[in-house]
Structures are given as C-alpha cells and as structure tokens.
C-alpha cells in the first residue's frame, strides 16, 4: 500500500500540474509547450502503470485507466496543436471541436435524426427482422441451410457497401435508400448467425423434447430459439456497427441537405474540420450507445450462458 | 460434400432466377417507352399514366413486352448476363488483346485498389500484432488501451475516411498512401482484438511448463504464445483483409478519384452507367473472395504443418 501511495502520489499530481501548465501556456509556445505536454504524458503513463501494478483488481481503477489514457491523448493533442500552431485545416484542437459541438447542437441533432433514426435504425430493424424470419423459415429444410450458409458467409465478407450507388439510384436521395443499404449490409451477417444459433442444441436436449412429445413449434420456442440467443445477439451486435457505417457512407453518394454523411462530406469540402470531428464524435457516441444497449439486453436475455456468468 | 455443392448450386440458381425475374418490373417503364416509340401498342397509352403505376403492375399489363426489359443500354437493373459480359469485356477480353493495363480495364482499376488494400493490410496487421504483444505483456497497456480497442469496434470509423484523404492531400500526400492508411486503420482493430485473445490462449499448465524450463518472456512469446495464437490470427486476418478492401474502396469515393474500383462505382453513378457500377461491384466481390480464399489456403497449409489441423 505504501509503495502504491508513493508511486501514485508523485505521478498523479505531477501529471495534473504539467497538463495544467501545458494547457495554460500552450498558445504559440513552440517546442517548449510540446515538451511540457510530453512530460505530462510520461507522468500520466506512470500513473496508469501505478494503477495497474497496485489496484488492478479494483473496479474504479479498471474504469480510471482507459479514461486517463483518453485524457493523456487529449492533452497531448490540444497542447501540441496550439503550441506548434498546426493549421486548423489539418487538425483542429479538441477544445475547438467541443465549442463547435455546443454551438451547433440543432444541426447535429437534425443530422442524427436523419441518418441514425430514419436511415440506420429503420434499415436495421427491417434487415435483422427479415434475416431472422428467413432463418426460421429455412430451418426445416437442411437442404436449403447447407446451401444458404456458405453463400451467406461468402456474401457477408463482400464489400456490400458498394451497392450504395445502385440503391441510391433506385430509392432516391432520402432516407429510404439509406435504409435499403443498411438492409443489404445487415441481412447476411444476421442470417448466418441465426442459422448457426438454431443448430446449436445438442442431440440430448432435442431427445428430451422428443420424450416430452413436444411439437416442432414447442421445440422451437422453448429450446432452440433460447439456445440460439447468444448467436442472435452476436449478429445484432455486428449489424449495429454495419448499420451506422452503411447509413453514413450511403450519404456520400447523394442525400438531402441533412444527415451525418452529407455533413461530413460537405464540411470536408469547405475545410470545416471542426464540424467533421463533431459529427465523428456524435457517431462514436451513438455507435457505442447502440452497441452498449444491445450488450445490456443480451445480459438480461442470455443470463444462463457461460460467457455471461463471468 | 457432393450434397453441399448441390444445395449451394440450388441457392445460387434461385438467386440468379430471382434477379432475372426482378429485371422485368425494374426495367418495364423504359421497355414500354421504347416499344411505344417503335409503334407497338402499350397499355396504358401515355407516359405520365405509366409513371403513376408500379413496375409490377405495368409488367402484368404488357406481358408481350417483357423481352424489352433485357439488353437495354442503361437499365435500372442490368441482367446477370449483361454484367458478366461487361466483366469479361473489361477484364479477360482486354487482357487477351494485350490492353490489361488500359484505363478502361477493370484489371487496371482492380490493381489500383488491390495495391492500396495490400499495403494497408500489411501495415495494419503488423501494428496490430505489435500492439497485441504489448497488451499481453504490460498490464498497464491491457488496462488502458484494450478498452479503447474494443470500443473502437463499435463506432463507425469509416466515417473518418473523407477527412483522412483531404487532410493528407493538404500536406501533399496523394494516391496510394491515404487509401492505404484507411485500410490499415480498418484492419488494425480486428487484428489487435483477435491476437490478444490468441496470445492469451495457452493454458496455465503450458505457461507453467515454460516457467519450469526457466524460459524468458521472449522465449515464451516465440515458442508458446505466438504458435498458439495462429488460429486466432488467421481468423482476424480474414476479417481484416475484407475490411481493408472496403477501406480502399471507400477511400476512393470522397476525392472524386478517377482510378480504382471505388472510382468506377462513383463515375458510374454520376453518369447513370448502371452496368459499369454492377461490374465494378462484382469485380470487388471477386477480389474479396480471392483475398479471403488465399488467406484461408495459407491458413490451412500453415496449421497443417504446425499439426494444429488434421
């Protein structure tokens, strides 16, 4: 404990001090400012090492270490950009991005609704739902399954995002075409996972259902669908990332004058990089929140699975 | 195996059949337009009335004109044979006549995209393995970097592509390198996550054995951890290479590049050359299949030689 206090007691205040010095003196200080930031980074890294060496079992340390690393990077980024006066069009400092985010909240919100709620979410629900139902529909035909699984695996590895220009041509510039791209992107990963999940029960378990004289439907609902849930959630989680990528990239091929992909491509054109970064921060937050909420639901649904019992 | 091939062929045949069937309603408006210009009677008689109708209804009213849905110059949905013909004309036929590297050849565009993909893949994989080794050996890195690596999988990082291209362009980097950076960046995270899992795959018993041999950490890494991680490495390499290809294609979109498969899709969508988009899409799909297949072959050979696979 004493060693822990000694190492953290020196490195943490040192990090805070140097970070504060660096941030306050940053503007135009040249390499001296960068040196201050680097000193702060080194001390911060010592803090993380101290946390890892002495508190790795603690919950707060497990949470604190990645946050500290994020802080290190932000301090280094902010101070370096301001100290060396890096042109704004190459890399805006984090503070400018934060200011931009707070001043353009209505725009960001409108883009979020257009791209995420209308484009990505509707496509995600349609695509995942269709894939799930298809998997159940072909469940009774081993012949179709044997054919569809390799084809599905193959298609899941293809650059489906390339269908975006075609679908934009078919469904117009608005959110419908984005939803279509998302459907095309999430369908096969979801299908493959669900089919694999439905095949997950053991012969013993199916025999037990047989001795109960359970019908196909009963076996499906009471045994095989629950057993498939870890796979289904795996597919849902993979699809959540794909859905956002699909909706954003499809907007590069044509969109109404609102939407995250539209804003990114036009802001890049105007060299308004703070706006681009602001959209990326929003996309990151939405993506993590989407994935995180799926993980929470998964925890509730598949509480019996070994991976959840920890 | 024979049964598998039969069912795969059935599924593929069903998809091609559906595609041909879909061509009729998709291209029916254009087909009726032409038939009318050629003096054939069309129901309903005016173009504006036909525009009100859906493609399926129009196709049902004019069953004699179905043939006109195929073989158009700029169909909304080209038929499979048109796409295959275009693919052959721009690859095999051009290669046979010695113009494989002409600007109209998909071999040329495919090579542009492939070179960026491979360069980025090598960089991303190398960095990913190095970072994974660091994470496995340093608890501080494990605690601070690993959560970010996992979180990064949940955010749509592809949205960064336009910015990377434009920023690198403004400091004078053009062509191959920016695309390779996007590719590297996309293939990097799957490799990190997979390799960390793989390097941790050896059990307690095996690690203890290395200890009784008085092996150094380097020896444990080379002789136990790295060999044990091979199956995980190859699994993530397959994800990584298709992610790299997607990165290279998307990297070609925002600058209005004129070379590469992504550029073919983009110019195709500007000029309504649907057949060109589809053939570029299929070229990308074939490229992805070849890349993933090659890694699968290497995987089979290496794991066989290592005695990890029968």
- B134 falls in which pLDDT band (50, 70, 90)? very high
Decide which of B58, B77, B96 is a domain's last residue.
B77
Are B180 and B236 part of one and the same domain?
yes
- B22 falls in which pLDDT band (50, 70, 90)? confident
Are B69 and B110 part of one and the same domain?
no
Across the interface, which of B246, B254, B261 has its CB nearest the CB of A265? B254
| Chain B residues touching residue A90 (CB < 8 angstroms) | 167, 170-171
Tell me which H or E stretch contains A238: helix A225-250
Quick check: A130 pLDDT over 80?
yes
Chain-chain contact of A169 with B285 (C-beta, under 8 angstroms): no
For an interface test with A, the pick among B117, B154, B264 (most A C-beta atoms closer than 10 Å) comes out as B154
pLDDT at B51: 75
| B176-221 residue pLDDT tens | 888 888 899 888 888 998 899 889 888 889 999 999 999 999 999 9
| A258-288 residue pLDDT tens | 888 888 888 888 888 888 889 988 988 898 8
**What token pair was written down for A58?**
């603690």
Nearest-by-CA chain A residue for B6: A147
- Å between B35 CA and nearest CA of chain A: 22
Model-level ipTM above the cut of 0.85: no
Quick check: B71 pLDDT over 60?
yes
Distances (CA, A) of A135 to A12, A152, A179, B228: 54, 11, 21, 35
Quick check: A8 pLDDT over 80?
no
B290 touching A (Cβ < 8 Å): no
pLDDT at B107: 84
pLDDT at A138: 85
Nearest-by-CA chain B residue for A65: B144
Region of poorest pLDDT, from A23-27, A92-96, B206-210, B215-219: A23-27
pLDDT at B310: 63
- A183 falls in which pLDDT band (50, 70, 90)? very high
Are B68 and B144 part of one and the same domain?
no
Chain-chain contact of B272 with A264 (C-beta, under 8 angstroms): no
Domains of chain A, residue spans: 2-86, 102-309
Q: Are A150 and A213 in contact (CB under 8 A)?
A: no
| Chain A residues touching residue B245 (CB < 8 angstroms) | 159
In this structure, is residue B162 part of a structural domain? yes
- Å between B72 CA and nearest CA of chain A: 16
Chain-chain contact of B143 with A284 (C-beta, under 8 angstroms): no
pLDDT at A245: 87
In this structure, is residue B271 part of a structural domain? yes
Q: What is the 3-state secondary structure (H, E, C) of A158-204?
A: CCHHHHHHHHHHHHCCCHHHHHHHHHHHHHHHHHHHHHHHHCCCCHH
Mean pLDDT for the stretch of residues B227-244: 89
**What token pair was written down for B157?**
């990082």
In this structure, is residue B295 part of a structural domain? yes
In this structure, is residue B204 part of a structural domain? yes
Are B64 and B156 part of one and the same domain?
no
State the Cα–Cα distance between residues A234 and A89, nearest whole angstrom: 39
Quick check: A145 pLDDT over 90?
no
How far from each other are the two terminal CA atoms of chain B, in whole angstroms? 17
pLDDT at A162: 81
Are B138 and B217 part of one and the same domain?
yes
Q: Are B137 and B143 in contact (CB under 8 A)?
A: no
State the Cα–Cα distance between residues A99 and A225, nearest whole angstrom: 48
Decide which of B38, B61, B77 is a domain's last residue.
B77
Polymer length of chain B: 310
Are B292 and B143 part of one and the same domain?
yes
Mean pLDDT for the stretch of residues B53-71: 76
Quick check: B99 pLDDT over 80?
no
Task: Indicate the average pLDDT of chain B.
Answer: 84
Chain-chain contact of B242 with A143 (C-beta, under 8 angstroms): no
For an interface test with B, the pick among A157, A255, A289 (most B C-beta atoms closer than 10 Å) comes out as A157
Distances (CA, A) of B117 to B112, B114, B170, B179, B190: 9, 5, 22, 8, 15
CATH number of residue B128's parent domain: 1.10.3720.10
In this structure, is residue B49 part of a structural domain? yes
Most confident of the ranges A137-141, A160-164, B131-135? B131-135
- A58 falls in which pLDDT band (50, 70, 90)? confident
Q: Are B28 and B51 in contact (CB under 8 A)?
A: no
Are B56 and B113 part of one and the same domain?
no
Are B110 and B250 part of one and the same domain?
yes
In this structure, is residue B90 part of a structural domain? no
B185 touching A (Cβ < 8 Å): no
Q: Cα A298 from chain centroid?
A: 16
Quick check: A212 pLDDT over 90?
yes
Residue with tokens 């990297």: B251
pLDDT at B132: 93
Q: Are B246 and A161 in contact (CB under 8 A)?
A: yes
* Residue among B108, B156, B152, B111 at smallest CA distance from B248: B111
pLDDT at B131: 93
Region of poorest pLDDT, from A133-137, A176-180, A265-269, B257-261: B257-261
- A102 falls in which pLDDT band (50, 70, 90)? very high
Secondary structure of residue B288 in the 3-state scheme: helix
* Greatest distance between any 2 Cα atoms in chain A: 80
In this structure, is residue B213 part of a structural domain? yes
Are B73 and B200 part of one and the same domain?
no
State the Cα–Cα distance between residues B101 and B103, nearest whole angstrom: 6
State the Cα–Cα distance between residues A244 and A128, nearest whole angstrom: 14
Distances (CA, A) of A128 to A124, A134, A224, A235: 6, 10, 18, 9
Half-sphere exposure for A273 (CA within 13 Å, toward CB): 21
**What token pair was written down for A249?**
């990239």
Q: Are A248 and B159 in contact (CB under 8 A)?
A: yes
Sign of the Cα pseudo-torsion (A55, A59, A60, A63, in order): positive
B171 touching A (Cβ < 8 Å): yes
B272 touching A (Cβ < 8 Å): yes
- B256 falls in which pLDDT band (50, 70, 90)? low
Secondary structure of residue B258 in the 3-state scheme: coil
Mean pLDDT for the stretch of residues B146-151: 82
In this structure, is residue B86 part of a structural domain? no
What percent of chain B lies above the pLDDT cut of 70? 97
- Å between B121 CA and nearest CA of chain A: 15
Decide which of B77, B98, B133 is a domain's last residue.
B77
Nearest-by-CA chain A residue for B145: A66
Domain that holds residue B45: 2-77
Are B50 and B129 part of one and the same domain?
no
Question: B3 or A292, which is more confident?
Answer: A292
Answer CATH for A102-309 from 3.40.50.720, 3.30.70.260, 3.30.70.1380, 1.10.3720.10: 1.10.3720.10
Are B125 and B42 part of one and the same domain?
no
Are B284 and B175 part of one and the same domain?
yes
Quick check: A171 pLDDT over 70?
yes
Give long-range contacts, CB 8 A cutoff, 24+ apart: A85-92.
Answer: A85/A28, A87/B170, A88/A273, A88/A274, A89/A271, A89/A273, A89/B167, A89/B170, A90/A273, A90/B167, A90/B170, A90/B171, A91/A273, A91/B167, A92/A273, A92/A274, A92/A277
pLDDT at A109: 92
Chain-chain contact of B154 with A158 (C-beta, under 8 angstroms): no
The total domain count for chain B is 2
Q: Are B244 and B121 in contact (CB under 8 A)?
A: yes
Mean pLDDT for the stretch of residues A163-188: 88
pLDDT at B31: 80
């Amino acid at each position: 404990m004493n060693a822990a206090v000694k190492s953290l007691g020196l490195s943490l205040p040192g990090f805070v001090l140097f970070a504060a010095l660096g941030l306050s003196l940053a503007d135009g200080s040249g390499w001296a400012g960068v040196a201050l930031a680097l000193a702060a980074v080194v001390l911060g890294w010592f803090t993380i090492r101290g946390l890892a060496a002495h508190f790795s079992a603690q919950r707060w340390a497990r949470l604190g270490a990645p946050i500290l690393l994020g802080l290190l990077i932000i301090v280094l980024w902010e101070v370096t950009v301001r100290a060396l006066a890096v042109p704004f069009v190459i890399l805006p400092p984090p503070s400018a991005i934060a200011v931009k985010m707070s001043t353009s909240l209505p725009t960001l919100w409108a883009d979020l609704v257009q791209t995420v709620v209308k484009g990505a979410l509707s496509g995600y629900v349609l695509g995942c739902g269709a894939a799930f139902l298809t998997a159940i529909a072909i469940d009774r035909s081993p012949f179709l399954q044997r054919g569809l699984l390799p084809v599905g695996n193959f298609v899941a590895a293809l650059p489906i995002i390339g269908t975006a220009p075609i679908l934009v041509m078919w469904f117009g510039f608005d959110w419908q075409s984005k939803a279509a791209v998302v459907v095309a992107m999430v369908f096969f990963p979801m299908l493959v996972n669900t089919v694999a999940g439905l095949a997950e029960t053991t012969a013993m378990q199916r025999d037990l259902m047989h001795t109960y004289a359970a019908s196909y439907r009963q076996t499906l609902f009471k045994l095989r669908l629950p057993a498939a849930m870890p796979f289904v959630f795996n597919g849902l989680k993979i699809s959540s990332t794909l859905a956002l990528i699909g909706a954003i990239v499809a907007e590069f091929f044509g969109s109404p004058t609102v939407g995250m992909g539209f804003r990114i491509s036009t802001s890049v054109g105007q060299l308004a990089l703070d706006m681009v970064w602001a959209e990326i921060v929003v996309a990151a937050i939405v993506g993590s929140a989407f994935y995180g909420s799926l993980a929470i639901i998964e925890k509730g649904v598949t509480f019996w699975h070994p991976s959840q019992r920890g | 195996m024979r049964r598998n091939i039969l069912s795969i062929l059935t599924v593929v045949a069903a998809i091609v059949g559906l595609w041909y069937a879909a061509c009729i309603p998709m291209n029916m408006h254009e087909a009726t337009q032409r038939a009318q210009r050629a003096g054939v009677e069309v129901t309903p008689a005016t173009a504006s009335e036909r525009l009100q109708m859906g493609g399926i209804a129009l196709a049902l009213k004019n069953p004699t004109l179905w043939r006109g849905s195929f073989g158009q110059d700029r169909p909304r949905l080209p038929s499979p044979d048109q796409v295959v013909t275009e693919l052959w004309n721009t690859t095999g036929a051009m290669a046979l006549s010695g113009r494989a590297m002409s600007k109209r050849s998909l071999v040329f565009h495919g090579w542009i995209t492939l070179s960026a993909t491979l360069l980025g893949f090598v960089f991303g994989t190398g960095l990913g393995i190095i970072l994974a080794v660091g994470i496995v050996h340093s608890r501080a890195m494990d605690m601070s970097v690993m959560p970010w690596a996992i979180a990064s999988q949940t955010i749509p990082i592809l949205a960064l592509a336009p910015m990377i291209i434009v920023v690198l362009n403004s400091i004078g980097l053009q062509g191959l390198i920016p695309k390779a950076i996007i590719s590297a960046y996309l293939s990097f995270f799957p490799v990190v996550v997979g390799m960390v899992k793989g390097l941790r795959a050896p059990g307690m018993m095996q690690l203890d054995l290395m200890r009784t041999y008085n092996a150094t950490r380097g020896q444990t890494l080379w002789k136990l951890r790295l060999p044990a991680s091979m199956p995980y490495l190859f699994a993530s390499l397959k994800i990584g290479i298709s992610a790299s290809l997607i990165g290279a294609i998307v990297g070609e979109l925002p600058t209005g590049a004129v070379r590469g498969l992504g550029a073919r899709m983009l110019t195709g969508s500007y000029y309504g050359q649907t057949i060109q988009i589809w053939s570029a899409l299929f070229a990308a799909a074939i490229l992805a299949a070849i890349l993933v297949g090659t890694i699968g072959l290497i995987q089979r050979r290496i794991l066989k030689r290592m005695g990890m696979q029968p």
